[in-house]
Structure 1
Amino acid sequence: MRILSWNVRGYNAPDKTRLIKRCLDQVRPDILLLQETKIKEEDVNVFSRKFPAWKCILVGAQSASGGLAALWNDSVMDVVVIRSTRWWQWLKIQSFQFQTSFFLINIYGPNNSNLKMQMWEELADIMRNDRENLFILGGDFNAILRPLDKMGSVGWNRQSQRDLSSFVMNLGLIEIPFRTWDFTWTNRSSGFLNMAKRLDRFFIAGDWLESHWKSVAEILPISGSHHYPICLRIQEESAPERCSFKFETMWLRDSNIRKLIEQWWKHNLDNPELKQINREAVNHFSDIFNGVGNQGRDMHQVLGVIPACVKDEHNQRLMEPVSMEEVKLVVFGLGSDKSPGPNDFPALFFQKFWDILAKDILGVVEESRAGGFVLRDFNNTFIALIPKKAEITSFDDFYPISLCNTIYKIISKVMANRLKQILDLVISSEQSGFAPGKSIYEGIILAHEVIYSIQIART
């Protein structure tokens, strides 16, 4: 389905009929929304004469200004007018293609800020009283939504911008972005006098994201008015491809997120069916992998020639059960927005909901310590390739880095913190690199001093 909207700035101009027909031939819309037609109500036959295959509903212009019109192809949809004012048309669309109905509002925003605010209030009342239906708002809003919607040195009506922004935010409207350029209106001047704005746009509201409709908007490069035509293309989405879950930081702004996380976390952990399935899977694969072929290489011969640096008392300290303080210190020491790895839960998630997750995280870390292994799901990583230079010719030109799961980072960091306590025992004093308080450059300096001393001795 295609919805075409255009502020034609006067339909009666000689070339406007030709331009509209050109738009219809190129886009083949199912419905055409026109603003500022400057045609009076009694002249509705103007459209039926020039577009006999199209049905038309007109809001007449007043004193040769304004005016709205909706033209549609009645073979693909049925259109009923719910209500109209000088500045908008509220239409109910019954689409034969999608076998569903939705509301479409054709908008022509007034120049006067007070009238514009009145229009937003009228539309807000309509949409607040009908939250269950899908809405599409399209047309010339005669206001920019944000400062970036303007190009040029001339100022803009800041009050109108704030009013439109409040209208959009309060109703939870979603703007359909244009996939072409950014501006829909221009003053058609050249040089430093040129000015452009995004005044025309489409918004959607209601359970649109759950309707499996894909929406794309574009600006058409057809001149003849200070405004360019805009087109909204809607089609049914194919079955979405399965993609990995990603925890979005912006969800933390929702006041209900804590309650939802608590419910989901408790449900997933206390689900008896899930636990039973998990036990059966573990038992099944344990029998397979522990039966044969699990004879690891005997490392005692190798370890026998390495001097023992760690004493029993040190080893006992290393193998103590993990405490909650150890885990909390690590969790809140991680970078909150670092790459979360395949499970897509960043450290910020665990920090924000620590009171809910703490016992389970401690259990996972302690289980890994006691069992001597990390579950495979936690040990999965993404491999990211970082280019070494601008021109890449082979995989040798990349640095591979591993993006680890946050749980894996917590487990490994807890173990690393414990090992730090005995590093001085297992690392020789000559080791200068990758040890706290030492630098790899110490070896370079030492080598320089040795060479210098040899040279002095020879002389």
Structure 2
Amino acid sequence: MQSHADFNDILSPEDKKGRVDHPQWLINGFREVTLACGLIDVPLIGYPFTWSRSRGTPNAIEERIDRALVVPSWSSIFPLAKLFNHSAPLSEHNPILLITETPTQHTKHRGFRFENTRLNEPDSAEVVKESWDNSHATHLADRLAMTAASLQQWGKHVFRKYRYEIDKCKRRIEELRSTDDRESVRYLKGSEL
């Protein structure tokens, strides 16, 4: 049985950054309820705040109002669960993603899939042509399998390049999220990474 609640409250003063302090009696009340219910707060990975308003101004406020609270029995079923805070520059709320991998789950080997983005790579056509021309197989299925294998090997290099660029953009977003100046906020919202 799953349950969902939207509390929009914080558990500690560290869950808020900005102008007016959050009333301590509200923090205490929310904390007491979570303790009385035996709830465990799944640690958040990434930027510590999930909601913001007026970033880049003197009135900026950031809070961690989005979280995953679980009971111990759930936590024992999903001991490797992780909660990730992602960026959404054009929204006040950041999306959070709960990954519930169990210790026995294994990644299945996926078959070959050709990604259309690879067509933008200047040497993709050459990889296909070279593999096809150098294949000595006479059956179409064998030639396709050999070409797929060549593309898969070549794609590992391309994927590493994409992964590097994605990671670089994520690092830049994290840098921008941790500053409150107008220029950084404008840059982040304009996605000019």
Superposition TM-score, scaled by structure 2 size: 0.49
Structure with greater Cα Rg: 1
Higher relative contact order (CA 8 A, sep 6+): 2
Superposition TM-score, scaled by structure 1 size: 0.22
Higher relative strand content:
1
